[in-house]
């Protein structure tokens, strides 16, 4: 019998819902002997990972001699040494002295893995990261391969992030001198950061000069191979004018294909210039290059994305324009796919048209196009925001039956609606269900929506429970979680607690928003908690964190006297 991926998934999802993990493992073991490993790998094992039996899961994978690489992989191999070193470096007055004395005791050797892991933890402190890297290379018990290109690439990224592009170049020259392989990745890191900082000319110059360092390819080959990445990055950051300019100038030496034109169409769509996007679609056709489904989807998304849908007249106009693209596609022999329909369904969702949304879902099914997670999430979101939670739940069930595993984003639609209804019980019931059935685990946003709701309604105790859950899950907290929580405590005038979390977020390397600081500052001063305030200020000074000079001058004056 021919078993499809689809039948596996449906079966697994069903078993997971009934918590029949043991049966599932027996099934997997049986299958592994009767079908190809590739087929097993294609299944979504993420669900298994969050059951209580990860050890069995690992053992199963070992028996297949595979590397288990599901997303959000919990850390089974703790990088204690990297944690230790980064902690020492970030929080000690004389970090390298401290490190030396404690490391010699522990006999830690600087393997490439350790250096890399430590650099990741030091990514927000470029100076420390650089010093550490140089230090690690001088250590007697470090292997010579410490200076791998991955470590260099990471350092280049860390330096560029704080706009130290000269440091990045020094590192590249060092790589060259030490015969560490520089490949396109190295330059791509630099180019991306240059573009994101707005230095497009420098990025282009870097691109046209990098062939000197890439000895395996000639200049022309480099342009042909990598130009689309430069073009894409320029477009992604909104510099489509620059992208078009360099494209027109260098056209003669490029291989013009569908991909390059699609990138440009994307760029013009991003800056909402549909006319220019269409012009490039025309140029493509003139040159005899056939647009494919991606090209049309990009254009379609440009027409639909962020288009104003209020009032209904505008909505109709957008839908007509979208339908026109659909027609054009069919005329040119390109069949609309799941993505095309998902883009359209997202418009219905934004315009709050549940009936049209469901109708379109039926139409696409009839055409034999299988909805995916994005499609379902759009429709579910539409139903939720229109208050039809029960219908949304039905669709969710249907989706699982069809072998599509929900993500936290799917669940977040429900949570958002519960938040709007101030329905704490409903939200907590769903949260419990989500934890139990382990189809997917809550994301930071899930926690943030819940936190936002609970704090707004003054349910501080519950909010703290959720906070603890979030920490245990390892999904958070992030900047927003801290901001929400601190603002919540400020609202309740619990200045001391708010201050503790403010300190904690700084320790973790998050830069608080100016508002958070201002709120806390005012609260502490008004309730005469000067000691707490000074302790906080001292900590901020140590980290050289400021919140804008005008603000400092205006508010801090009284306390300098």
Partner DNA sequence: AAATTTACCT
Q: Is 377 in the site for DNA (CB under 7 A)?
A: yes
Yes or no: say if 371 and 361 are a contact pair by the CB < 8 Å rule: yes
Binding track, positions 44-83, relative to DNA; x by CB under 7 A: ----------------------------------------
Token readout for 237 is 């950051």
How large is the angle between the packed helices 408-421 and 444-456, nearest 10 degrees? 10
Write down the least CB distance from residue 217 to DNA, Å: 16
Footprint on residues 169-188 left by DNA (CB under 7 A): 185, 188
Write down the least CB distance from residue 264 to DNA, Å: 10
Among residues 309, 341, 310, 307, the alpha carbon closest in space to that of 325 is found at 341
Q: Which stretch binds DNA (CB under 7 A): 10-18, 167-175, 278-286, 407-415?
A: 407-415
**H helix runs in 287-423, sequence order:** 293-304, 312-331, 338-350, 354-366, 373-385, 389-401, 408-421
Q: Is 378 in the site for DNA (CB under 7 A)?
A: yes
Write down the least CB distance from residue 232 to DNA, Å: 5
Yes or no: say if 388 and 354 are a contact pair by the CB < 8 Å rule: yes
Q: Which stretch binds DNA (CB under 7 A): 201-209, 361-369, 376-384, 391-399?
A: 376-384
Interface residue with DNA, options 229, 352, 387, 426 (CB under 7 A): 229
Write down the least CB distance from residue 475 to DNA, Å: 11
Quote the CA–CA distance of 190 and 209 in Å, as a whole number.
Answer: 13
Q: Is 240 in the site for DNA (CB under 7 A)?
A: no
Q: Is 262 in the site for DNA (CB under 7 A)?
A: yes
Q: Is 505 in the site for DNA (CB under 7 A)?
A: no
Binding track, positions 188-227, relative to DNA; x by CB under 7 A: x---------------------------------------
Q: Is 297 in the site for DNA (CB under 7 A)?
A: yes
Write down the least CB distance from residue 252 to DNA, Å: 22
Token readout for 19 is 């918590």
Footprint on residues 345-364 left by DNA (CB under 7 A): 346, 349
- Decide whether 100 or 469 has the Cβ nearer to DNA: 469
- Decide whether 125 or 448 has the Cβ nearer to DNA: 448
- Decide whether 100 or 518 has the Cβ nearer to DNA: 518
How large is the angle between the packed helices 112-121 and 149-161, nearest 10 degrees? 10
Q: Is 259 in the site for DNA (CB under 7 A)?
A: yes
Write down the least CB distance from residue 3 to DNA, Å: 25
- Residues near 129 by beta carbon (within 8 Å), at least 6 away in sequence: 119, 122, 123, 155, 158
Token readout for 182 is 């520089």
Yes or no: say if 268 and 277 are a contact pair by the CB < 8 Å rule: yes
Write down the least CB distance from residue 399 to DNA, Å: 12
Handedness of CA 473, 479, 484, 488 (dihedral sign): positive
- Residues near 287 by beta carbon (within 8 Å), at least 6 away in sequence: 256
Yes or no: say if 411 and 434 are a contact pair by the CB < 8 Å rule: yes
Quote the CA–CA distance of 55 and 153 in Å, as a whole number.
Answer: 34
Interface residue with DNA, options 126, 153, 410, 532 (CB under 7 A): 410
Stated length of the chain:
561
Among residues 224, 197, 193, 219, the alpha carbon closest in space to that of 208 is found at 219
Q: Which stretch binds DNA (CB under 7 A): 112-120, 129-137, 258-266, 421-429?
A: 258-266
How many Cβ atoms are within 10 Å of 371's Cβ, its own excluded?
22
Q: Is 512 in the site for DNA (CB under 7 A)?
A: no
Quote the CA–CA distance of 103 and 490 in Å, as a whole number.
Answer: 42
Q: Which stretch binds DNA (CB under 7 A): 193-201, 214-222, 334-342, 352-360?
A: 334-342
Footprint on residues 439-498 left by DNA (CB under 7 A): 443, 445, 448-449, 452, 456, 480, 483-484, 487
- Decide whether 110 or 188 has the Cβ nearer to DNA: 188
Which residue is associated with the tokens 């700084």? 506
Write down the least CB distance from residue 330 to DNA, Å: 15
By rule CB under 7 A, what count of residues binds DNA? 51
Yes or no: say if 482 and 512 are a contact pair by the CB < 8 Å rule: yes
Q: Is 96 in the site for DNA (CB under 7 A)?
A: no
Write down the least CB distance from residue 545 to DNA, Å: 19
- Decide whether 462 or 484 has the Cβ nearer to DNA: 484
Q: Which stretch binds DNA (CB under 7 A): 71-79, 255-263, 313-321, 396-404?
A: 255-263
Q: Is 409 in the site for DNA (CB under 7 A)?
A: yes
DSSP character for 22?
Answer: H
Query: What phi, psi does 504 have (nearest 5°)?
Result: -60, -40
Q: Which stretch binds DNA (CB under 7 A): 76-84, 111-119, 374-382, 534-542?
A: 374-382
Q: Is 375 in the site for DNA (CB under 7 A)?
A: yes
- Decide whether 165 or 348 has the Cβ nearer to DNA: 348
Q: Is 407 in the site for DNA (CB under 7 A)?
A: yes
Q: How far apart are the first and last CA of the chain?
A: 85
- Decide whether 377 or 441 has the Cβ nearer to DNA: 377
- Decide whether 35 or 457 has the Cβ nearer to DNA: 457
Q: How many CA atoms lie within 13 A of 433 on its CB side?
A: 13
Quote the CA–CA distance of 549 and 408 in Å, as a whole number.
Answer: 40
Strands, E assignment, 253-366: none
3-state SS of 47-107? HHHCCCCHHHHHHHHHHHCCCCCCCCCCCCCCCHHHHHHHHHHHHCCCHHHHHHHHHHHHC
Write down the least CB distance from residue 298 to DNA, Å: 5
**Interface positions with DNA (CB under 7 A):** 185, 188, 228-229, 232, 258-259, 262-263, 266, 292-295, 297-298, 301, 305, 337-340, 342-343, 346, 349, 372-375, 377-378, 381, 407-410, 412, 416, 419, 443, 445, 448-449, 452, 456, 480, 483-484, 487, 515
């Amino acid at each position: 019998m021919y078993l499809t991926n689809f039948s596996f998934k449906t079966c697994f999802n069903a078993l997971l819902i009934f918590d029949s993990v043991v049966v599932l493992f027996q099934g997997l073991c049986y299958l592994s002997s009767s079908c190809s490993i590739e087929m097993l790998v294609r299944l979504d094992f993420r669900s298994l990972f969050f059951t209580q039996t990860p050890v069995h899961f690992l053992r199963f994978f070992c028996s297949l001699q595979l590397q288990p690489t599901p997303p959000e992989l919990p850390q089974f191999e703790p990088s204690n040494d990297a944690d230790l070193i980064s902690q020492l470096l970030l929080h000690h007055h004389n970090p390298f002295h401290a490190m030396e004395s404690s490391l010699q005791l522990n006999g830690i050797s600087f393997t490439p893995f350790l250096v890399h892991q430590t650099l990741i933890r030091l990514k927000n402190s470029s100076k420390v990261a650089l010093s550490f890297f140089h230090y690690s290379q001088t250590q007697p018990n470090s292997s010579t391969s410490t200076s791998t290109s991955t470590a260099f690439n990471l350092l280049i990224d860390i330096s560029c992030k704080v706009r130290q592009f000269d440091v990045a170049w020094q590192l590249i020259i060092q790589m060259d001198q030490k015969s560490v392989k520089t490949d396109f990745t190295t330059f791509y890191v630099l180019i991306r950061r240059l573009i994101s900082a707005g230095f497009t000319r420098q990025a282009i110059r870097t691109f046209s000069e990098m062939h000197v360092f890439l000895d395996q390819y000639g200049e022309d080959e480099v342009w042909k191979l990598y130009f689309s990445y430069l073009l894409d990055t320029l477009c992604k950051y909104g510099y489509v004018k620059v992208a078009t300019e360099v494209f027109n100038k260098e056209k003669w030496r490029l291989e013009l294909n569908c991909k390059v034109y699609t990138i440009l169409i994307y760029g013009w769509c991003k800056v909402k210039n549909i006319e220019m996007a269409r012009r490039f679609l025309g140029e493509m056709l003139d040159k005899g290059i056939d647009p494919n489904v991606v090209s049309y989807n990009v254009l379609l998304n440009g027409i639909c994305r962020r288009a104003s849908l209020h009032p209904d007249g505008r909505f109709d106009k957008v839908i007509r324009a979208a339908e026109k693209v659909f027609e054009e596609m069919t005329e040119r022999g390109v069949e609309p796919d799941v993505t095309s329909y998902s883009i359209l369904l997202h418009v219905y969702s934004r315009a709050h048209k549940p009936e049209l949304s469901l109708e379109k879902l039926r139409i696409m099914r009839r055409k034999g196009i299988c909805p995916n997670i994005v499609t379902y999430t759009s429709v579910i979101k539409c139903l939720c925001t229109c208050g039809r939670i029960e219908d949304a739940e039905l669709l969710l069930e249907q989706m699982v039956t069809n072998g599509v595993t929900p993500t936290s984003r799917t669940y977040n639609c429900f949570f958002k609606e519960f938040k709007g209804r101030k329905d704490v019980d409903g939200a907590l019931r769903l949260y419990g269900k989500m934890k139990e059935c382990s189809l997917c685990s809550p994301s930071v946003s899930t926690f943030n929506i819940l936190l936002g709701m609970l704090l707004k309604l003054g349910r501080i105790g519950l909010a703290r429970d959720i906070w603890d859950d979030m920490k245990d899950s390892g999904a958070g907290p992030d900047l927003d979680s801290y901001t929400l929580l601190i603002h919540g405590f400020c609202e309740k005038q619990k200045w001391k607690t708010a201050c503790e979390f403010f300190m904690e977020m700084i320790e973790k390397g998050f830069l608080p928003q100016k508002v958070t600081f201002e709120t806390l500052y005012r609260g502490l001063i008004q309730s005469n908690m000067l000691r707490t305030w000074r302790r906080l200020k001292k900590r901020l000074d140590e980290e050289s964190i400021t919140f804008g000079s005008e603000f400092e001058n205006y508010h801090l004056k009284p306390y300098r006297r």
